[in-house]
Chains A and B, each alone.
Chain A
Amino acid sequence: MRFVLPLLLLPAVVRADVDFNRDVRPILSNNCFACHGPDEKERKGKLRLDTQEGALKALTPGKPDDSELIARVASADADMLMPPPKTGKKLTAKEIETLTAWVKQGGKYATHWSYVKPSRPAVPAGSPHPIDAFAQQRLAKDGLKPSPEADRYALVRRVALDLTGLPPTVAEVDEFVNDKSANAYEKMVDRMLAKPAFGEHWARLWLDLARYADSAGYADDPPRTIWPYRDYVIKALNANKPFDRFTVEQIAGDLLPDATDETRTATAFHRNTMTNSEGGTSDEEFRNAAVVDRVNTTLAVWMGTSMACAQCHTHKYDPITQKEYFAFFALLNNTEDADRNDETPVIVLDDTPEKKAKREEYQAAVAALQKVKLKDKEDADALKKLTDGLNKKAADLKPKATVPVMKELPKGKRRVTKLQFRGNFMDLGEVVTEGTPQAFHPLPAGEPNRLAMAKWLVSRDNPLTARVTVNRFWEQIFGTGLVRTTEEFGTQGELPSHPELLDWLAVEFMEKWDIKHILKLMVMSATYRQSSKVTPELQERDLDNRLYARGPRYRLSAETVRDQALAVSGLLSAKMYGPSVRPLRPSLGLSAAFGGGLDWQPSAGEDRHRRGLYTEWRRTSPYPSMVTFDAPSREACTLRRIRTNTPLQALVTLNDPVYVEAAQALARKTAGQGKTTAERVTFAFRSCLGRPPSDKEVSRLVTLFDESKATYSKDAKKAEALATDPVGPLPKGSDAVDLAAWTTVCNVLLNLDEMLMRR
């Protein structure tokens, strides 16, 4: 099984102008590099095909007939044929033709596209918005036309869900729909970007990358206090902290000359690695595993590069040697943390500096008083009373939280990094010093440490970080990245569908590393604003919508599915930040291996109804209904969530008490509205979707209401159960039968395809 580019992106016939990166490298990488690539140990016949110099041994430029490379891949003799038949690989006739045409044209190599620094391409003429100009140029090539703009109801919901992860209120919908001004759309976008909910929504993506969770992982998976890091991410995004600063703070916020509690909290990014507290485990083994995770996560998140292969052997596809892997490892190998159960080092955080100062003042006073020796009993009693009082005052000012942080080991305690044979931490080779792979730009001048590496990640010379990051944003907004393999930009990744557009956005992003600016650019484009309506013809030609001849439409994330149900029913708490919470969840009656119970007592009050990102994330037992909607366990960095559509999802939104409660709450709001059933249906419908329902939709829901009402009027007990469990006792003066019938209607509304998708 292999990745297949949508057919229309592949050249139908061998192009006259064979492009090495587009046409040739994928063939060589998939079929030849494993034995004839960068890995010297695995190299067969001393032939290397990943460099021009190496390949010249097997090809004569311009003369395919004199080229061993062509002769071998086309050979009829099984002993001569390459790749060897036992590998199960075989070039297709078209691939052989491509290679032949390439050799004929000179057999020239080019640096892999993503390793070349992006430069700003000229924007094609024809559209004022650069995204539209590039997208329409590409569409025209395929003889396709963009779709008309979606209607305003669809637009406001799309923008709200994409930027804030919450649906617009009916008032917000009406404000936009009725706004006659020319820049109504832009004003609406700006309102969404300015909401605190923006940071909460976009933090979710970053927390997947950071493998943020509220437990330490492995078998017993004990709780871990690290939520201040989650709050740091939300605040950074809301404040629109430039991405380069955001990066440096998370990788090396402790080493900054102006380090603060905030920048130190940011370094918890890499303290989200797991800690193994299973009895009998070696702390050094799992400290080492955490550093490996940090190396792999750093390169994958910022540079779309999978380093993991090079932990055990020189990379088979990309130019990264094993020694270079451990040079990068050395950059992250000298922090104080060491797989300890108490998660040290941690920092203590206070709500305000005043509180901290006050508490320390009390503590200092107590310490001083304890040194006083008094003989007189009366004096001693008074002293005790005083110290007790001060202690209590100090205790009342308890810190907000602690958070595990990265802290560099001092001189004299530094670890020496050695190459690990086959990635085994006990099988050590030569000493390796800090560095980055040769294939990329050099580290900035000065001491080669974490701070230098952080700056290297966001250097203007870094060919990957900006591309990878804007591609990730694009994926969130448009459903699929311009490079579909958001997790892999190396030679084994897919090529971008719109290379110039990607580079234009990457260069634009590097100007100020302004996240909100890039997101605004995307949602302001006409490409984004198109109707998502699809014709069978378009469906056939571009199933995945990689060419953007229509607007994006895809299923909402696990958290958004939950948040939306709570929002439209009026249950959602607007409370931000703080310790993670425990919404309703069925008991599983299980414990973690060697650890405590996995079940929980639900939080009280509004904490039951907080946004999904505040839900306590226990790695061995993540919140089940979010897992069903493809939320990861966060044990390792999740670079791309896969979206599925399963019957288990239907069971969640139909029957999970959280969703039943939402239906009941919306039913209570609905029952008191308007004069007719149709008016009430319209109210509930608009609360959910923003748009007014069609007559057909109203009449179908009225029918359901009438049917349900007839059923429940015959069974008061059932009616009461459906109207109250779990939302709570009937409000005074309300009718159980009526509320039960409205609950069935709202249950349907919350399950509409249109609810689960953005249209």
Chain B
Amino acid sequence: MHPLLHSTRRHFLGAGSLGLGAAAVSLLGGRASAADNPLSPKKPHFAPKAKRVIYLHMSGSPPHLDLFDYKPELVKWDGKDVPDSYLKGRRFAFTSGVPKLMGTPRKFQQHGKGGIWMSDAVPNFHKLADDITVIKSMKTDEFNHAPAELLLFTGSNRQGRPGMGTWVTYGLGSESENLPGFVVLISSGVQPSGGANCWGSGFLPSVFQGVQCRSKGDPVLYVSDPKGMDRDTRRKTLDALRDLNEMQAAELGHPETATRIQQYELAFRMQTAVPEVMDISKETKEVLDDYGAKPGEASFANNCLLARRLAEKGVRFVQLFDWGWDFHGTNPAEDIRDGLTKKCATMDKPIAALIRDLKRLGMFDDTLVVWSGEFGRTPFREGRTAGGTILGRDHYPDCYCVWLAGAGIKRGFSYGETEELGFAVSENKVHVHDLQATILHQLGIDHTKLTTRFQGRDYRLTDVHGNVVKDVLA
């Protein structure tokens, strides 16, 4: 290389590897200087318990009363009118008039040393009883899917704010050099109701947003070279591109040119790293069988296995969405008896395998696993389907269940209670903002301090709310 070029290159690569436009760099204010790559790892506020998060979201919201929150009194009152006091001044999505109470038709038992109640719909979760904390006292403010998912993942019930994984990537950067720091995997063929907002950048730079990976076609959009171009030729084109860009940098002196050169090199490495990590055919038959994963499919089981592979490679936030949990009872697949059994079979087995696998690899202690829906389901039969033979429940925001496992979370623990018919939380209420605060806390982030200024206001994931649920921490 010409000495001038060499020194210019050194100068810029050393002094000004801008990863963002100047505006975005200033946006980061005190945290990132111009010399920082916005994705380079940043120090958390305090020592974290979790190095990474695998978030398993059941889009549509599973019937928690048929999975975790056992209400024998409700079974006793099954078929009776819902008392007036529970309905006064309330609106429900698909139910009007006086609906009938519905006790669970499922068999419940306590499991593990913590005596966690679980139904027969999730037999594979029974074996996880000593690994997880079930929170039975969750509460949200929304009872329609899109606003509830937005509230859960962005802290606001309306579009336009960054997603949870985006906040985490903004706060902590990425550990992986060749892979995105925040990956999204979707199964059952449908986007979540909150749409791409759930992993979008909102008013943060888009460099922090989630990258959707796919099991078919290019695992990341445009990661494959054009047809007819092999890796050698791609390398040759990038060499030429680098040389030409360096001439430009030498002439005009803009540091962003040096950054662009680096980004093209990173892209080249991603082209190998992404297909490699997304190729589950390299796993042993034993592992594939344990998850129930099949190479080439776009299943939740495959995504659980991919989550583990991505986490292993340093991806900090892996977000799974699985569609088909909206148990209204409008068709047999949404029946809380047979329909729920079948749907759960596609879900609890791979999740149990994921936890086992994380343990096997020594990653369970520093991986936070979250299982959730966006709200709960009513203790009564859904209005539209109440006359039929299929049993379904309507949307319900006042109580529902999630579970947490791994990094710094109590093992074999059940937290919070609802009153006897399951209409309200009776102790240890956990609001969605509290869950967000707790997830950030496990990553070493003080949720009140992870902020960004937009339109003159400091915004954060938890809005102006949220308390860390210390009781579930080990």
Interface residues of A (CB under 8 A from B): 1-4, 6, 88, 217-219, 221, 274, 276, 278-282, 289, 300, 306, 308-309, 317-318, 479-480, 484-485, 487-488, 490-493, 532-536, 539, 543-545, 553-555, 586-594, 598, 619-622, 624-625, 627-628, 630, 633, 635-636, 639, 642-652, 654-657, 660, 694, 696-697, 700-701, 703-704, 707-708, 711, 717-723, 725, 740, 743-744, 747-748, 751-754, 756-757, 759
A-facing mask of B221-257, CB < 8 A → 1, else 0? 1111111111011101100110111011101111111
Is B449 among interface residues, defined by CB-CB distance under 8 A? Answer: yes
Inter-chain CA distance A279–B93, complex, in Å, is 7
Instruction: Determine whether B211 belongs to the interface, using a CB cutoff of 8 Å to chain A.
Output: yes
7 smallest A-B Cβ distances: which pairs? A492-B456, A280-B93, A721-B228, A722-B228, A643-B21, A620-B195, A650-B267
**Number of residue pairs spanning A and B whose beta carbons lie under 8 angstroms apart:** 308
B206–A635 touching, CB < 8 Å: no
What are 15 A-B pairs at a CB distance below 8 A? Answer: A276-B146, A278-B145, A553-B254, A619-B195, A620-B195, A633-B196, A636-B159, A642-B20, A643-B20, A645-B260, A650-B260, A655-B222, A660-B226, A707-B236, A719-B228
Q: A281-B93, A660-B226, A723-B228 are in contact. Are A704 and B236 (CB under 8 A)?
A: yes
| Contact A545 to B260, CB < 8 A, known contacts A2-B458, A748-B244 | no
Interface flags for B6-46 (1: CB within 8 Å of A; 0: not) read 00000100011011111111111111001000000000000
Interchain CA distance A6-B237 in the complex, whole Å: 38
Instruction: Indicate which residue in A219, A300, A543, A700 contacts B244 across the interface (CB closer than 8 Å).
Output: A700
CB–CB A281/B196 < 8 A:
no
Query: In whole angstroms, what is the CA distance A480 to B29 when docked?
Result: 16
CA distance A549 to B263 in the complex (A): 28
Residues of chain A within 8 A (CB-CB) of B92 are 280
CB pair B23 A282 closer than 8 Å:
no
Taking the closest CB of chain B, its distance from the CB of A645, in whole angstroms, is 5
With A485-B456, A721-B227, A740-B228 in contact, do A88 and B20 touch (Cβ < 8 Å)? Answer: no
Q: How far is the CB of B89 from chain A (nearest CB, A)?
A: 9
Give the residue of A536, A592, A703, A721 whose beta carbon is less than 8 angstroms from that of B240. A703
The CA of A492 and the CA of B453, in the complex, are separated in Å by: 9
* Nearest chain A residue, comparing its CB with the CB of B330: A279
Residues of B within 8 A of A532 (CB): 252, 254
CB neighbours of A586 from chain B (8 A): 217-218, 221-222
CB-defined contacts of A720 to chain B, threshold 8 Å: 228
User: Are B189's CB and A590's CB within 8 A?
Assistant: yes
Q: A487-B454, A655-B226 are in contact. List 19 more A-B contacts (CB 8 A).
A: A280-B92, A280-B93, A480-B23, A492-B453, A543-B25, A594-B145, A598-B191, A633-B159, A643-B24, A646-B206, A651-B270, A656-B222, A697-B247, A704-B237, A711-B236, A748-B237, A753-B260, A754-B248, A759-B252
Contacts of A309 in B (CB 8 A): 457
Chain B CB count within 10 A is highest, among A317, A647, A717, A757, for: A647
Which residues of chain A come closer than 8 Å to B228, judged between CB atoms? 717-723, 725, 740
Pick the contact of B191 from A553, A592, A652, A759 — CB < 8 Å? A592
Contact for B160 among A625, A635, A704, CB less than 8 A: A635
Interchain CB contact under 8 A, B455 and A300 = yes
For A493, A544, A648, the residue with the greatest tally of chain B CB atoms inside 10 Å of its CB is A648
Assess whether B452 is interfacial by the CB under 8 Å rule.
yes
Does the CB pair A700–B243 fall under 8 Å?
A: yes
What residues of B have a CB within 8 angstroms of the CB of A588 in the complex? 212, 214
Residues of A within 8 Å of B192, CB to CB, are 593
Complex-state Cα separation, A621 to B221, whole angstroms:
14
Chain B interface size, as a band, is 35 or more
Given the interface pairs A278-B144, A723-B228, A744-B233, the reply to whether A644 lies near B260 with Cβ below 8 Å is: no
* Interfacial chain A residues near B226, Cβ < 8 Å: 655, 657, 660, 721-722, 725, 743, 747
Is residue B77 within 8 Å, beta carbon to beta carbon, of the partner chain?
no
Question: How long is the Cα–Cα vector from A4 to B146 in the complex, in angstroms?
Answer: 35
**CB-based contact B189/A589 at 8 Å:** yes
Q: Bound complex: CA of A355 vs CA of B256, how far in Å? A: 54
* Inter-subunit contact B245/A752 (CB<8 Å): yes
- Chain A: CB-nearest residue to B186: A590
User: Which A residues touch B155, using CB under 8 A?
Assistant: none
- State in angstroms the CA–CA spacing of A649 and B260 once bound together: 10
Question: Separation in Å of the A551 CB from the closest CB of chain B?
Answer: 10
- A142–B180 Cα distance when bound, in Å, is 42
> Which of A306, A488, A589, A717 is B216 in contact with, Cβ under 8 Å?
A589
A590 near B257 with CB under 8 A, answer: no
Q: Would you call A493 and B456 a contact (CB within 8 A)?
A: yes
Decide: A624 and B193 in contact? CB cutoff 8 A: no
CB distance from A421 to the nearest CB of B (A): 14
B323 at the interface (CB under 8 A from A): yes
Interface SS of chain A: loop
Any A CB within 8 A of the CB of B207 = yes
Known: A650-B264, A655-B226. A590 touches B270 (CB 8 A): no
Bound-state CA distance A759–B91 (Å) is 58
Separation of A317 and B453 alpha carbons in the complex (Å): 14
**A591 pairs with B455, CB closer than 8 A:** no
CB-contact partner of B237 in A219, A300, A544, A744, under 8 A: A744
Quick check: A753 and B221 within 8 Å, CB to CB? no
Q: Which residue of B lies closest to A694 (CB)?
A: B247
Smallest CB separation, B254 vs chain A (Å): 6
Contact status A3-B455, CB under 8 Å:
no
Residues of A within 8 A of B93 (CB): 279-281
Please tell me which one of the listed residues A647, A660, A708 contacts residue B233 in the complex, with CB atoms under 8 A apart: A708
Q: Judge whether A642 and B27 touch: CB under 8 Å.
A: yes
**Per-residue CB proximity of B294-307 to A under 8 Å, as 1/0?**
00001000000000
Tell which of A282, A654, A657 has the most Cβ of chain B within 10 Å. Answer: A654
- Interfacial chain A residues near B206, Cβ < 8 Å: 627-628, 630, 642, 644, 646
Question: Across the interface, do B18 and A645 meet the contact criterion of CB distance under 8 Å?
Answer: yes
Q: B249's closest neighbor in chain A, by CB?
A: A753
A555 touches B449 (CB 8 A): no
- A619 surroundings in chain B (CB, below 8 A): 195
- Which one of B22, B24, B194 has the greatest number of beta carbons of chain A within 10 Å? B22
Q: Which residues of B contact A539 (CB under 8 A)?
A: 16, 253, 255
Evaluate contact between A642 and B22: CB separation under 8 angstroms. no
Q: Which residues in A have their C-beta under 8 angstroms from that of B266?
A: 647, 650
Min CB gap B277→A, angstroms? 15
Closest to B265 in A: A647
- Min CB–CB distance A200 → chain B (angstroms): 24
Interface residue? B173 (CB, 8 A): no
- With beta carbons under 8 angstroms apart, the residue of B146, B200, B223, B227 that contacts A218 is B146
Q: Is the C-beta of B158 less than 8 angstroms from some C-beta in chain A?
A: yes
In angstroms, Cα B234 to Cα A146, docked, is 41
- Flag if A219 contacts B145 (CB, 8 Å): yes
Taking CB atoms, residues of chain B closer than 8 Å to A306 are 455-457
Closest to A492 in B: B456
Q: When the two chains form their complex, are residues B29 and A3 in contact, meaning their CB atoms are under 8 A apart?
A: yes
* Docked-complex contact B91 and A651, CB < 8 angstroms: no
In contact, B195 and A280 (Cβ under 8 angstroms)? no
Are A591 and B237 also in contact (CB < 8 A) when A219-B195, A306-B455, A645-B20 are? no
- Cβ B191 vs Cβ A700 within 8 A: no
Complex partner residue of B263 from A218, A279, A649, A694, CB under 8 angstroms:
A649
The answer to whether B26 and A3 touch across the interface, beta carbons within 8 angstroms, is yes
Partner of A700, one of B195, B240, B260: B240
Which residues in A have their C-beta under 8 angstroms from that of B207? 644-646
Docked-complex contact A621 and B196, CB < 8 angstroms? yes
A654→B222 contact, CB < 8 A? yes
What residues on A are CB-neighbors of B260 within 8 Å?
645, 650, 753, 756
Smallest distance from the beta carbon of B463 to chain A beta carbons, Å? 11
